Amino acid sequence: MLPLDPTADIGRRAWVPCPRCQDHEGCGTCDDGRTCGDHWRYLLSNRGSLLHLQCPNCTHLWSWDSGFGAGGRP
């Protein structure tokens, strides 16, 4: 298991499902699309709509394109 990224800050969070541990499955709050106090991810950085995330539970690192904000426009 990877250690937490040294830039991980609980003040910068995102509510995106972890592709590795899927710990949000079966959570009523997550299923309702609300911000859950248990199933959030560290938002390490972003470049436009591309978010760089880390799961605090399994420490998986990944990038996810939110499709929101700047970038991807002609």
Q: Where are the domains of the chain?
A: 13-65
Q: Please say whether the beta carbons of 38 and 55 come within 8 A.
A: no
pLDDT at 72: 55
Q: Can you tell me which residue has the tokens 């605090």?
A: 56
pLDDT at 41: 96
CB-based contacts of 1, cutoff 8 Å, min separation 6: 58, 59
Q: Is the per-residue pLDDT at 28 higher than 90?
A: yes
Residue 29 DSSP code: H
Q: Is the per-residue pLDDT at 44 higher than 90?
A: yes
Helix (H, G, I), strand (E, B) or coil at 8: coil
Helix (H, G, I), strand (E, B) or coil at 14: strand
Query: How many whole angstroms separate alpha carbon 18 and alpha carbon 72?
Result: 24
Q: Is the per-residue pLDDT at 53 higher than 70?
A: yes
